[in-house]
Amino acid sequence: MASSQGMQLQLQPINMMLVLVQLVVVVIFSLSAATIAAPTEQELKNLGCTNRCGNLDISYPFGMEANCSLNDNFFINCSDSQPYLPDGNIVVTNISLEDGELRIMQFVASECYNASGYLLPNSFDASLTLSKFSISNSKNKFTAIGCDTSGSVQITDKNGSLLATGCLSQCSNINSVPNDGSCSGIGCCQTSIPKGVGRIEISVNSFSHHKNITNFNPCSYAFVVEDGAFIFSTTYLKEFKAEKLPMVLDWGIGDNETCEEAKKNQTSYACGDNSDCYEAEIGLGYICKCSKGYEGNAYLSDGCKGVGHIEISVTSFSNHSNITYFKPCGYAFGVVDGAFNFSTTYLKDFKSKEVPTLLDWGIGDDEKCEEAKKNQTSYACGDNSDCYEAEIGHGYICKCSKGYEGIVYSDGCKGY
């Protein structure tokens, strides 16, 4: 019988197709980076790989122990529960496998002067070297703050090629600076940034050493910041206290490899089963995503699970030592409530290989009732019926309205 919020299909072991519950046997493997491109979840566990540093999940291809990352570029140094990139003291705050992105905290460059126009010792440029990752030119903005300010960002690749951009801002009094949160070029300026991998230098300079404006703006600041993460205020002209701001980096697998090229070498191809390959935003290499109908970690051989996938495993703590005479095996399964009654004879020999279970189902791909009704050509509920959100968590089911009965998906709902 269907409940008010969902429908359950009971599978009887005699007259309907049985749902097989698979017992997963744990086998110990040795992970070899040279021969296994996409390891399994169990192989990483066997190597002692952990997946959390402080509040951040660290998922393969990233890793924190030896042999737990795809290569050294994806190593995360977890120190005092704080995750860092191997390129230095760059704090990582988020890793997106789906988008091929990292969020880091990067320093703000500053240059401050006293009323006499002398440079103060707390001034410095901000730089970082990225051997594999690139500043996302679609998710960040280069920003400079000040009324006597010229800021720039330069990217030098391993071949010495230089990319640079910047902006300038000048104003003689604070009353001319908009205080509506905008970074319009007066008191604050912004520009898009180039895409590139290498040494990144953020610098800021003054035209007149802030003379005649130190009373309201003694410093200039420059930084690359995640788009939307910074809102300008005129109070920042007097003092901007932030030392670090969020920045988004792009990353990819392989050295200049396209998906087509990477697939030719299956020993190094990083995408697991049930996944698809996409060219990386970084412009170098590729990223992996689970195919439609699957979700999980696309960089593990068994990482992409079918939506609703359930894996039941059974292991022994001590290989059943000293108890094999009455309990040589361990069993695990999901079964319809009330359909299984335990007996001590099962410890010696449990002969059932298949057990009945219940499945929830729904119509549509993540569609709610309201969304489904907008497309009447695909809407599955007929006349005299009502739509309900499915118990499965996505999709919907149909039921005959009050005063009607029938098979709602075929013959239709008829009046009593």
Residue 271 CA, chain-centre distance (Å), reads 16
- Tens of pLDDT, residues 17-37: 333 333 332 332 333 333 347
pLDDT at 94 over 90: yes
Residue 334 identity: G
pLDDT in tens, 139-189: 999 999 999 999 999 888 777 778 889 999 999 999 999 989 999 899 999
pLDDT of residue 256: 76
Q: Report the 10 Å Cβ neighbour count for 219.
A: 24
**Three-point CA angle 76, 79, 81, nearest 5°:** 95
Q: What is the largest CA-CA distance in the chain?
A: 94
Q: Which of 28-37, 82-91, 112-121, 153-162 has the lowest average pLDDT?
A: 28-37
Mean pLDDT of the region 349-373: 84
Q: Which of 200-209, 287-296, 301-310 has the lowest mean pLDDT?
A: 301-310
pLDDT of residue 230: 95
> Position of tokens 């969902």?
6
Question: Does pTM surpass 0.75?
Answer: no
Confidence of residue 324 (pLDDT cuts 50, 70, 90): confident
pLDDT at 309: 57
Residue 263: pLDDT over 70: yes
